[in-house]
Structures are given as structure tokens and as C-alpha cells.
């Protein structure tokens, strides 16, 4: 793996930690630990899979292109 640094909005960081904890606790089998980084890697894979839909010049335009609500 390669180390990458990213910046998140405070609410994203908080919700990501809550989600990682929720997913970790809901696991049926022991194994790989689910962390914030695990979820970020999955999100990047999803983004790369949907890259043909990614059109826009701003973060909000990119969000809308993927069916997300603008953050504004």
C-alpha cells in the first residue's frame, strides 16, 4: 500500500469513525479490522469504478454528477 494524505470536513471525519465502528461491530466473522482507512479505500474503489460519471469543475459539481447533494 502507498501512504496518501487527505483532508476531510469535520463532519465527514466524525461520521466515518462512527461508521467504521458500526461496521466493525456488525462483523459476523473475525478477520481484518475495519477502520476509517478501510472505508476510505472502499470509497476510492467505488469512485474509480464510477469514473465515467465523474464530470464537473468543482467539488459540488462532481458530487452532483455522482448523485450526491452539494455540500454548500
Q: What is the pLDDT of residues 6-64, one digit of tens each?
A: 999 999 999 999 999 999 999 988 889 999 999 999 999 999 999 999 999 999 999 99
Entry pTM: 0.89
Instruction: Check residue 29 and give its pLDDT.
Output: 87
Instruction: Check residue 64 and give its pLDDT.
Output: 97
Instruction: Check residue 39 and give its pLDDT.
Output: 98
* Residue 20 near residue 39 (C-beta atoms within 8 A): yes
Angstrom CA distances, 14 to 19, 20, 21, 30, 44, stand at 9, 10, 11, 25, 18
Radius of gyration of the chain from Cα atoms? 14
Say how many residues make up the chain.
Answer: 72
Residue 70 has pLDDT above 80, yes or no: yes
Q: Give the domain ranges of the chain.
A: 10-65
Amino acid at each position: 500500500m502507498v501512504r496518501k494524505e487527505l483532508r476531510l470536513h469535520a463532519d465527514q471525519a466524525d461520521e466515518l469513525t462512527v461508521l467504521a465502528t458500526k461496521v466493525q461491530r456488525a462483523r459476523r466473522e473475525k478477520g481484518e479490522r475495519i477502520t476509517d482507512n478501510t472505508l476510505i479505500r472502499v470509497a476510492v474503489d467505488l469512485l474509480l469504478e464510477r469514473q465515467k460519471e465523474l464530470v464537473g469543475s468543482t467539488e459540488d459539481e462532481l458530487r452532483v454528477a455522482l448523485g450526491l447533494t452539494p455540500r454548500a
